[in-house]
Amino acid sequence: MTKPMHYTITLNGDEHHITISPVIETIHGSDKYVTGVFKLSEGHVDMGEIVFDDNMNQWEYTGEGDITHREAGEIADFIRRYKEPAADNGFI
């Protein structure tokens, strides 16, 4: 995932529209590297981050608040399964 995505989840009986934004770093001048860190937000409210290991197998949720560990796992599974359309956009 190299671009922000939107995910809808039900928390405490209410629908929430979460924006998942990948943290991307630039290396070697212009190549972009996806770090495995994904920031979660709803509108202007920061909801923490989901941080994956190098193989996208293990993850941890760094936020506090409305998202439980189980719900963070649902979002992590969505991130893992997401297949972005292929494009030559400088990502390595």
Cα distance between residue 83 and residue 14, in whole Å: 27
34, part of any domain: yes
Q: Write out pLDDT tens, residues 14-70.
A: 899 999 999 988 887 778 888 899 999 998 999 999 999 988 889 999 987 678 889
Residue with tokens 């630039």: 26
Range of the domain at 30: 5-81
Q: Is residue 86 part of a domain?
A: no
Is residue 73 in some structural domain? yes
Residue 34, CA atoms < 13 Å, CB-side half-sphere: 21
Q: Is the pTM of this model over 0.85?
A: no
Task: Judge whether 90 lies within some domain.
Answer: no
Task: Determine the pLDDT at residue 51.
Answer: 95
Residue 72 lies in a domain: yes
In a domain, 11, yes or no: yes
Please tell me the predicted confidence (pLDDT) of residue 31. 80
Q: How many domains are contained in the chain?
A: 1
Q: How big is the CA angle at 7 (ends 71 and 59), to the nearest 5 degrees?
A: 45
Q: Is residue 89 part of a domain?
A: no
Paired tokens of 75: 């979002």
Give the whole-angstrom CA distance, residue 12 versus residue 35: 31
Q: Please write the tens of the pLDDT for every residue from 73-84.
A: 999 999 999 877
- Asked if residue 87 is part of any domain, the answer here is no
Q: Assess whether pLDDT exceeds 50 at residue 91.
A: no
Q: What is the pLDDT of residue 25?
A: 87
User: Which candidate, 13, 18, 14, places its Cα nearest to that of 75?
Assistant: 18
